[in-house]
Amino acid sequence: MHMKFALLGACAATMALTAPARAEYPEEPVTLVIPFGAGGITDLVTRRIAEKMAAGLGTDIIVENRPGAGGTIAARSVAESDADGYTVFVGTVGSQVVNPLIRDNVGYDPVESFEPVGLMAGTPFLLAVNPGLGVETFGDLVTYAKEHPGELNFGSAGVASSPHLGLELLKYEEGIDIVHIPFNSGREAVNAAASNEVDMTIDAAVVIMPQVKEGLLVPLMLGTDRKMVAAPDVPTNVEAGAPEISITSWNGLFVPSGTPEDVVSTLNTALMGALADEELTAALEAQGTLLFTGSMEEYDAFIEAERTRWSTIVEAADISIN
């Protein structure tokens, strides 16, 4: 009798101890942390995708905005959270590549602290100039810049923003000298270019094309090799003869390193399911955002390539935030 009870007790104890490991993930709602405030492009794209992901994941997804320090505050807080798959980070080129390069004390390592789940979306950027410049093609712009070094003004969304990095990339690859004028946001920079306070700028199609429609800006080139529905007549970087000028603001899902593989895999499956949704793809593409459809290896390779590329540029341009 006592033996039976003892055995039963032992079994129960064993089950209780191992139960957490066997429990189905996810049991609770999953939180997606966005490193920017509500209403920005990252926020929008993430929320749309999260909606579709929740169905595939079988649980609620809570989207939380944790802005600050260019995304570093959110990155840090997720890197330090439990690696149980319930806190997922929406990493961007800023948080995963650029900030650790330019800031001294980010408090996390982009490679060591995180494990990628999958790439979500990318918004390619466009290069546009004020019509008063009299330049019609990218080639013309480079010629003009070489003839007038240090005269042209470029408006960006701020130091170390994607547009700024795009400018530095341009200067590096084409060997031209253009003065950087930072603004508080992309829209301010684009408006400044449209009103001729600065000569040129880089930003997303969503921001640039309305000005183009009003005749206030001339788009010269896409920062990608894929044609864009949102900017149909604008040449790609390959077509413009500058294939190395690739500027895309991308984001992807990351979890703290040490998260169990099956959890990561579950998240990845749900993400892939959401990204395959045709309605979503069409809606986002109309706004100039492209969903990624690659494998994990392609994802890893892409981020590594970005890291290599931007560290060269950052060093060459001596950008730092300390």
Partner 1 sequence: MGVLDNLALGLQTALSLQNLAFCVFGVSLGMAVGVIPGLGAIAAISMLFPITYHLELTPALVMLAGIWYGSSYGGSTASILLNIPGTPSSVVTCIDGYPMGQQGRGGVALLMTAVASFFGGSVGILLMMFFGPLIASYAREFGAVEYFALIVLGLVAASTVAQGSAAKSLAMVTLGLIFGTVGLDMYTGAERLTLGIFELSDGISLVALAMGLFGVSEIISSVRQVKAAEVGKSSVGLRAMKPTREDVRRSVLPMVRGSAIGSFFGTLPGTGPAISAYMAYAIEKRLSRRKHEFGKGAIEGISAPEAANNAADQTSFIPTLTLGIPGSPTMALILGALIIHGITPGPQLVSEQAPVFWGLIMSFWIGNLLLLVLNIPLIGVWVRLLLLPYHFVYPAVLTFIAIGVYSVNNNVFDIQVVLAFGALGYLLRLLDFPTAPVLLGFVLGPLLEENFRRAMLISRGDPLVFVQHPISATVLALAAALLVLGAWSALRQTRQGTALPTPETD
Partner 2 sequence: MQDRNYRDMIGGGLLVLFGLWVAWQAWSTLDIGSARRMGPGFFPLCIGLILAGLGGIVLAGSFVQSAKMPEVDLRACVSVLASLAVFALLLETFGLLPAIAALVGIASLADRTTRARQVLALIALLCVLCWLVFRLGLGMPLPVLKWPF
Does residue number 31 form part of the binding site for partner 2 (CB under 8 A)?
yes
Burial class (CB in 10 A: 0-12, 13-18, 19+), 35: buried
Closest CA to 228 of 246, 203, 205: 205
Integer Cα distance of 175 and 180 in angstroms: 15
Integer Cα distance of 88 and 210 in angstroms: 34
Q: Within positions 22 to 61, which residues make up the interface with partner 1, using CB under 8 A?
A: 37-41, 43-44, 47-48, 51
Q: Which CB, 106 or 141, lies closer to partner 1?
A: 106
User: Using omega within 30 degrees of 0 as the cis cutoff, is the peptide bond preceding 26 cis?
Assistant: yes
Q: How far is the CB of 279 from partner 1 (least distance, A)?
A: 13
Cβ-based neighbours of 54, under 8 Å, separated by 6 or more: 60, 61
Q: How far is the CB of 158 from partner 1 (least distance, A)?
A: 7
User: Which of 101, 145, 192, 253 is the binder for partner 1 (CB under 8 A)?
Assistant: 192
CA angle 77, 79, 82 (to 5 degrees): 90
Q: Within positions 64 to 83, which residues make up the interface with partner 1, using CB under 8 A?
A: 64-70, 72-73, 76
Q: How far is the CB of 187 from partner 1 (least distance, A)?
A: 4
**Binding-site residue total for partner 1 (CB under 8 A)?**
57
97 binds, among partner 2, partner 1, none (CB under 5 to 8 A by kind): none
Does residue number 28 form part of the binding site for partner 2 (CB under 8 A)?
no
47 binds, among partner 1, partner 2, none (CB under 5 to 8 A by kind): partner 1
187 binds, among partner 1, partner 2, none (CB under 5 to 8 A by kind): partner 1
Query: What's the one-letter identity of residue 56?
Result: G
User: Which of 40, 47, 56, 62 is the binder for partner 2 (CB under 8 A)?
Assistant: 62
Q: For residues 204, 210, 214 and 219, what is the CA-based torsion angle, rounded to 10 degrees?
A: 20
Does residue number 166 form part of the binding site for partner 1 (CB under 8 A)?
no
Q: Are strands 114-129 and 248-256 parallel, antiparallel or unpaired?
A: antiparallel
Give the x/- contact pattern for partner 1 in 98-137, rule: CB under 8 A.
----x--x-x------------------------------
Cβ atoms within 10 Å, residue 192: 18
C-beta of residue 99 within 8 angstroms of C-beta of residue 70: yes
Closest CA to 29 of 5, 64, 2: 64
C-beta of residue 153 within 8 angstroms of C-beta of residue 179: yes
Does residue number 64 form part of the binding site for partner 2 (CB under 8 A)?
yes
185 binds, among partner 1, partner 2, none (CB under 5 to 8 A by kind): partner 1
Q: How far is the CB of 96 from partner 1 (least distance, A)?
A: 18
**For helices 261-275 and 41-57, angle between their N-to-C axes, nearest 10 degrees:** 110
Query: What's the one-letter identity of residue 214?
Result: E
Q: Are strands 30-34 and 87-92 parallel, antiparallel or unpaired?
A: parallel
Q: Which CB, 48 or 307, lies closer to partner 1?
A: 48
Q: How far is the CB of 34 from partner 1 (least distance, A)?
A: 10
Integer Cα distance of 174 and 13 in angstroms: 68
Does residue number 285 form part of the binding site for partner 1 (CB under 8 A)?
no
Does residue number 191 form part of the binding site for partner 1 (CB under 8 A)?
yes
Q: Give the footprint of partner 2 on this chain (CB under 8 A).
A: 31, 62, 64
Q: Give the footprint of partner 1 on this chain (CB under 8 A).
A: 37-41, 43-44, 47-48, 51, 63-70, 72-73, 76, 102, 105, 107, 153, 158-160, 179, 181-185, 187-188, 190-192, 194-195, 197-198, 206-207, 209-211, 213-214, 283, 286-287, 319-322
